[in-house]
Each structure stands twice: as C-alpha cells, then as structure tokens.
C-alpha cells in the first residue's frame, strides 16, 4: 500500500511554506484504519522562518496528536522535507465518510494558525464471512504456507504481517501462488532472514498474517491468522580462540616451553554474533582449568601432555558454539629428586674417622628432562654447627663419592648441606651433621663448658652419649625441647588452665580469666 495525496498548500504569508497532506486507509473487519502523513517542504534560499511549527491531527473528531512539534524555532531554513506519520488510527463502524481536520500553527511571535478539513473515504464492506486464512510455522529463510479458503474464483489477496513489533508487507518476489481452486488458494511466503533481528533473545516468535481480500479489484475485507517463525538451528555464533604460553621464569622464556606447574596460558576469544543476537558469555578451557571472559590468563598449568585450548561462546538466544585452538605441548615437571645421599667424616683416603679432617660425600639426583634441556647440578656446602659462614656451594659429580675438605677441626661439629638444582632454578636439599671427635671428657677453655663423649663447644654441660638417670631430676630453670621451653609446648597461646584459686597460673605468658569460680574452680585462657 502507499499514501494517497489529499492536498498540497502554501501555508502562511511571507515566506510561503509548502505543505502536503496524504493518507492511507484499509479495512479491518467492520472498522477502518487510517494513517496520516504531513510533509513540510524544504525552505532554502533567501527565505527564512525562525518560528516553531506545531501540528494537531483529528480523525473522526478524535485527537490523533496535539501540539506535535514539526519544527522548533531553529533552524530558520531547512534543506530536507520534514515528515510526520500518525501511525494507524482505527475508526469503529464508520459511516459513509470519515472527517479529518489538520491544524498547523506557530508561536513565539508568529500568529500563523490555520485548520484544514477533509473527508476520508470508507471502503465498501462485502461479506467476508466465507473467507478464512490459515498459516503454520516456518524457519526464517524458508517458505511459510498460507491457505485462503474462499467461495469461488475471482478473488485476489494482498498480504501484510506483524511480527515482534514490526509491520511489513511481503515483497512481491517473496510470495508465490502455489495452487488455486474454487474453494481455496495456497501461497508460500519466503520468510526474510532479516526478521531474526526482531527476536535477538529468543529462538522463535509469533506473528499475525493478514490477507486483504479483493473482489474484482474491490476491497471486501480481511482475514488474519497467527504464525510462528523459528531461527534456524544453523544460526549460531562464530568464534575463534588463540592461546599463547607465558613464562615468568627467564630460562623457560628462552626455551619457549609450556611447563607443568610453572607456565601460564594467555588467551583471547573473538566472536561474531548472528541474526541480531548479542554476546551472552565466553568461556575458556585448558588443561582442566576453566575461566570466564573473552580474554585472560589461566595457570600455572596443572596438567601435562598435549593440551588443546577450547572456547565456548553463547549468544543471547542461548545458542553456543565450541571451538578449539592450536594444541600446546605441556611438559611434565617436578622439582629435582635426591635419590641417595651421604656425608661422613673421613681421612684423606675416605676412611670414616671421627677425627677426620675431610668429608666423604655422595649425592645422586634426577630432574624432569623438559625436552632434553633441563639438567641437574649437585653441590655441597658446610659450616660449623650453630652458625657461621657457609663454605659456598661447591659442585660435585652427580651420584659419585667424593672427598672434600681437608681442614675440618676435630673439635668442632659441622652442618653439611647437599643440594640438587635444575636449570629451571628449583632447588632441593638434604642436611647432615658431623659430630666432633669422640673424647671421654673435655673441659672447654676457660672452664665454663664441659662435654661428655665429645669436645665442649659451648658453655654448660653437653652430652653426646645416651643418658640414664636413676634418681630425681630437679630443674630450677627452663626445661627445653629443641630449644622450646616445655611449658610452651604444654600450654601454648589459646590453651585453658583450671585453678582452685582466683590467682592466675604461674606459667609463661599472660592468662585471662574466662570463668569465675564455680564450685571452687577457676578457668584461665592464655592470651599471649
């Protein structure tokens, strides 16, 4: 359908402004529907009109619009036509004609105010009761079958539809007559795929098809039927995923390897939505780890072996697509393992001696190969017990017995540390202690330290032998286990102690009463 011109006028005085009025009408059962178009022509050249232009439209005495601003005060010239469309207005059970009044007026200093009256035609009504329309369902882009039942030949139909808030007319090439008989006519409408954009959040939608029926060119009424359109299952997002290995470790950066427990994977997902849908979610998966979002980083990688980056993109219709990226080899990795070790005092021949000035050492270690690039280095360092400066990491042959030192003091105990470090930089260690030479009794210089079974290395009494006591042992100071007072081990912070008096326990730390005397019992908690 198209608009029919009602009138073309020259509005006002100086300047004259060209205005045209047009209408479109259609029968809807016993009612008529109209829509009105008002067009203001361009105003160019020397002429100008710097005032607003307002519009009011009345169809059959009812106000369709009132005080509509066609143009504000600015601009005072315009190079393109200004249009107003009323939309469909329904007149119920009209008589032989329908009155139309259009008022154009201005303000802000302009006194222009004019009304124009017209009569809109009413299409003749014939009996439409013998007609009906059925419509089924179809996927967009595929034919939708329309069947019109009728009482005979000599009728034609013009179709229009509403779907998801849009009104349209099937293109001539998109609707074809399939068959025709006295009692029915069958058409097929190839549904435009562009209608997908009207339902971006759903896979289907309902609409109404209307057939305007003509008898010998005369409109006699319309029939309507509901239909359902589906977004084809093939309309899904398109996506691609890229993944790159990220290493903070400089060695791994140089190797360009993805290593279990150390490397991370940085990803990016690109997605294209189809049929008007929008992106709802993106998800990335690699080596058992999942992360939401179109980009990001996962890891450190926990798996090993050949791992394939995968991404899933879901659109606003809930439809998903999963894609894979280029596979990445993840090399299995674990810290170095010391498989065997030993450290003993010895003489220069490697014979075990408690007064030896040498150490006989052995440290065997393995590491993850990492494509043959990772190696393990074994080192030894030692220092006097109780502190002092380490000797420095001296490389030794992996798995071989070696003799080192030569200047060990027989009166001094030593800490010996064997380490295994791989090229990646991970270190594992094992420590040994080497006692002093065994002597029955030794008095430390100055007379402040006494040792049994060893040299005295500090003030006080040291005993290198197992000891048995057959009488009471009285301790006036603090009794310690591995340097920690026994009381601290028995009553750590947070422990509770019960007393029979209101006095705090005579124990290390600060005790806070948590329960007053109940039947002569007091509860205390250590807080510091």
pLDDT of residue 294: 97
pLDDT digits (tens, 9 = 90+) for 442-464: 667 777 777 766 666 677 777 77
Q: Starting from the edge strand earliest in sequence, which strands make up the sheet with 175-180, in order?
A: 132-135, 143-149, 184-190, 175-180
Average pLDDT (119-125) is 80
pLDDT of residue 386: 78
Options 3.90.1150.10, 3.50.50.60, 3.40.920.10, 2.60.40.10; CATH of 4-121: 2.60.40.10
Q: Are 460 and 451 in contact (CB under 8 A)?
A: no
pLDDT digits (tens, 9 = 90+) for 88-109: 999 987 877 899 999 999 998 8
pLDDT of residue 315: 97
The fold for domain 238-331 equals Immunoglobulin-like (2.60.40)
pLDDT digits (tens, 9 = 90+) for 179-215: 999 899 999 999 999 999 999 999 999 999 999 998 7
pLDDT of residue 94: 81
Q: Are 146 and 132 in contact (CB under 8 A)?
A: no
Q: What are phi and psi of 12, to 5 degrees?
A: 85, -165
Q: What is the DSSP letter of 253?
A: H
Top-tier CATH class for 337-434: mainly beta
The fold for domain 132-230 equals Immunoglobulin-like (2.60.40)
Element (H, E) at 251: helix 250-255
pLDDT of residue 508: 83
Q: Which sequence spans correspond to the domains of the chain?
A: 4-121, 132-230, 238-331, 337-434, 479-528
Residue 1 has pLDDT above 60, yes or no: no
132-230 matches 238-331 in fold = yes
Distance between CA atoms of 106 and 76, rounded to whole angstroms? 13
Distance between CA atoms of 436 and 464, rounded to whole angstroms? 10
Cis before 171 (ω within 30): no
């Amino acid at each position: 359908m198209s608009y029919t011109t009602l009138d073309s006028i020259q509005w006002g005085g100086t300047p004259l402004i060209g205005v045209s009025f047009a209408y479109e009408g259609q029968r809807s059962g016993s009612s008529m529907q109209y829509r009105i178009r008002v067009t203001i022509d361009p105003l160019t050249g020397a002429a100008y009109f710097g005032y607003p232009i307002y519009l009011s439209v009345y169809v059959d005495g009812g106000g369709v619009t009132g005080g509509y601003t066609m143009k504000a005060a600015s601009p005072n010239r315009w190079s393109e036509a200004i249009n107003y469309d009323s939309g469909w207005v329904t007149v119920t059970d009209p008589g032989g004609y329908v009155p139309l009044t259009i008022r154009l007026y201005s303000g802000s200093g302009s006194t222009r105010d004019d009304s124009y009256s017209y009569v809109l035609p009413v299409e003749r009504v014939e009996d439409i009761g013998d007609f009906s329309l059925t419509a089924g369902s179809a996927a967009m882009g595929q034919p939708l079958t329309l069947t019109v039942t009728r009482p005979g030949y000599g009728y034609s139909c013009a179709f229009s539809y509403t779907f998801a808030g849009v009104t349209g007319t099937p293109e001539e090439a998109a609707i074809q007559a399939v068959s025709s008989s006295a009692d029915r006519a069958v058409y097929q409408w190839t549904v435009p795929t562009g209608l997908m954009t009207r339902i971006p959040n759903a896979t289907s939608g309902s609409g109404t098809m209307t057939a305007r029926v003509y008898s010998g060119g005369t409109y006699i009424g319309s029939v309507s039927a509901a239909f359902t359109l589906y977004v084809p299952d093939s309309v899904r997002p398109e996506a691609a995923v890229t993944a790159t290995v990220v290493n903070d470790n400089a060695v791994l950066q140089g190797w360009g390897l993805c290593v279990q427990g150390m490397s991370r994977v940085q990803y990016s997902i690109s997605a294209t939505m189809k049929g008007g849908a929008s992106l709802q979610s993106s998800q990335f998966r690699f080596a058992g780890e999942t992360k939401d979002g179109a980009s990001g980083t996962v890891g450190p990688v926990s798996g090993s072996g050949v791992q394939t980056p995968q991404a899933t993109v879901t659109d606003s219709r809930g439809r998903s697509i999963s894609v894979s990226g280029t596979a990445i080899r993840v090399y299995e990795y674990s810290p170095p393992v010391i498989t065997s070790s030993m450290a003993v005092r010895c003489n220069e021949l490697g014979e075990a001696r408690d007064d030896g000035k040498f150490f006989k050492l052995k440290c065997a270690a393995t590491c993850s190969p990492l494509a043959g690039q990772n190696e393990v280095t074994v080192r030894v360092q030692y220092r006097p017990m109780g502190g002092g400066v380490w000797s420095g990491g001296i490389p030794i042959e992996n798995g071989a017995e070696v003799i080192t030192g030569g200047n060990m003091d027989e009166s001094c105990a030593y800490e010996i540390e064997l380490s295994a470090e791989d090229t990646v930089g991970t270190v594992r260690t094992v420590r040994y202690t080497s006692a002093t030479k065994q002597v029955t009794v030794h008095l430390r210089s100055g007379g402040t330290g006494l040792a049994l079974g060893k040299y005295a290395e500090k003030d006080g009494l040291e005993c290198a032998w197992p000891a048995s006591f057959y009488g009471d042992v009285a301790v006036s100071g603090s009794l310690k286990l591995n340097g920690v007072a026994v009381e601290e081990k028995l009553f750590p912070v947070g422990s509770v102690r019960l007393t029979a008096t209101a006095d705090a326990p005579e124990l290390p730390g600060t005790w806070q009463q948590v329960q007053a005397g109940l039947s002569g019992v007091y509860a205390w908690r250590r807080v510091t």
